[in-house]
Amino acid sequence: MTTQAQDNGFCCADHSGAANVAAILAAAEARARATGARLTPVRRRVLEILLQAHGALGAYDVLEKLSAEGFGSQPPVAYRALNFLVDQGLAHRIRRLNAFTACAHPGQDHRAAFLICESCDSVTEADAGAVSAALDQAAKAAGFDLARATIEAVGQCSACREAAR
Amino acid sequence: MTTQAQDNGFCCADHSGAANVAAILAAAEARARATGARLTPVRRRVLEILLQAHGALGAYDVLEKLSAEGFGSQPPVAYRALNFLVDQGLAHRIRRLNAFTACAHPGQDHRAAFLICESCDSVTEADAGAVSAALDQAAKAAGFDLARATIEAVGQCSACREAAR
DNA sequence: TTATCTAACGTTATATCATAACAGTCAAGG
DNA sequence: CCTTGACTGTTATGATATAACGTTAGATAA
Ligand SMILES: [Zn+2]
Ligand SMILES: [Zn+2]
Ligand SMILES: [Zn+2]
Ligand SMILES: [Zn+2]
């Protein structure tokens, strides 16, 4: 199974478009230098792959591309790079899809929710500010000390709904 | 790895306690009869196992118990029963843990959030009414037709926080 | 410069989670 | 009785993820 979103002409997230990819990559590089994190070739390339995917990619999808380009060909190569990007806030893990997607707003401290389209597999990162606040509230009511949360919605994106009409 | 919560004396969710287990099982049975769903021995036993676990169990944890009791010993046996329970609203899948937990409020149409303790692995089902409303709002703003959502928080439960003080 | 240290890389091997496909069982309905 | 369909169990395989270890390359210090 591939988890790549189909590239069917319409774009889903803010990071679509080659120009934006370059800008985000540059910003990631600058931020890495600033924080001391090392955006190595594999890591940088994985981020680029995610940015170009317009959707979430499974670790093995990423690995396949890496392998074809002369990087390592074994799972840890992909998982390490992906986990690094997630730790750095440059990518997100989509648990429902066992997949990863580039962050649409890197650098900003943001709480994200993901809107997963069942028709086209696109994954859109939405601002979860209000959702997160409500969740904080619910956790507080339960006496739970919330560290982080996963918020994933499944349904149909606007483009697919239009197309289905 | 076992995903079973440690049974360390304190209970986490509403369904704790043998009496409550029996009550929920009875209610599940009644509801199954009413809707035509068949709560067969394996399914009933799996629900019971989840109810007694006081936490989320992986499919293979459940399978191990089933197998020891004379039920089938292969993965599909556990996955089928678990998926049935989830479909019936009698259990929930916790994606972050690759695990399942009995629903604390079966029969009610509810949107749930899960509070996962990193210290004791307990999983508490919290009412996600407000969270869900905020998420509906966010989805609507993005033109996304939301079918269902996964809301999982990770942190530390009150009991563990107390114990750590 | 050269020695030393450490983070990152790549590999092998294995663990863990999940489903496809098919045969046997059994109860309900004709 | 016989068909039908839901359920169970099996074999086999696929998909996702990490442990462990040797090697490499970049940084640091003598
Ligand atoms: Zn983001
Ligand atoms: Zn879509
Ligand atoms: Zn529930
Ligand atoms: Zn706890």
Asked whether residue B60, judged by its CB, lies under 7 Å from any atom of the DNA or RNA strand C, the reply is yes
Q: From chain A, which residues contact B within 8 Å (Cβ)?
A: 95-96, 113, 115, 117-118, 124, 126-128, 130-131, 133-135, 137-139, 141-158, 161
Which tokens hold the place of A52?
Answer: 């170009």
**CA of residue A93 to C1' of nucleotide D26, angstroms:** 29
Residues A150, B155: C-beta atoms closer than 8 Å: no
Check whether A67 has a pLDDT greater than 60. Answer: yes
CATH architecture of the domain covering A17-164:
Orthogonal Bundle (1.10)
User: Which nucleotides of chain D have an atom under 7 angstroms from any protein CB?
Assistant: 6-12, 14-20
Question: Vertex B37, ends B33 and B40: CA angle to 5°?
Answer: 90
Per-residue pLDDT, B10 = 42
pLDDT at B17: 62
Q: How long is chain A?
A: 165
What pLDDT score was predicted for residue A34? Answer: 86
Task: Assess contact for A63 and A100: CB atoms under 8 A.
Answer: no
Residue B2 pLDDT more than 60? no
pLDDT confidence tier of residue A54, bands split at 50, 70 and 90: confident
Cβ–Cβ under 8 Å, residues B85 and B50: yes
Interface with A, mutate which of B145, B152, B160, B162 (most A CBs under 10 A): B145
B69-98 per-position pLDDT tens digit: 999 999 999 999 999 999 999 999 999 999
Torsion sign, CA atoms B112, B133, A113, A148: negative
Q: What percent of chain A has pLDDT over 90?
A: 73
- Determine if strand C comes within 7 Å of the CB of A84: yes
Closest ligand, as measured to the CA of A159: 2
Rounded-to-integer distance, Cα A24 and Cα A91, Å: 12
* Banded model confidence at residue A159, pLDDT cuts 50, 70, 90: very high
Task: Reply yes or no on whether the pLDDT at B6 is more than 70.
Answer: no
Instruction: With cut-offs at 50, 70 and 90, classify the pLDDT of residue B33.
Output: confident
Q: Tell me which residue in B95, B124, B128 faces A95 most closely, judged by beta carbons.
A: B95
Count interface pairs A-B at CB distance under 8 A: 135
Q: Could you write out the DSSP letters of every residue in A53-109?
A: HTS-B-HHHHHHHHHHTTS--SHHHHHHHHHHHHHTTSEEEEGGGTEEEE-SSTTS-
What are the tokens at B113?
Answer: 């959030």
Name the nucleotide nearest B76; use CA and C1'.
C19
State the Cα–Cα distance between residues A6 and A38, nearest whole angstrom: 31
Q: Where are the domains of chain A?
A: 17-164
Cβ of A154 within 8 Å of Cβ of B147? The answer is yes
Write the DSSP symbol of residue B37: -
Closest-CA distance, B26 to chain A, in angstroms, reads 27
Residue B7: CB atoms within 10 Å: 12
Q: Identity (one letter) of the amino acid at A7?
A: D
Q: How far apart are the first and last CA of chain B?
A: 28
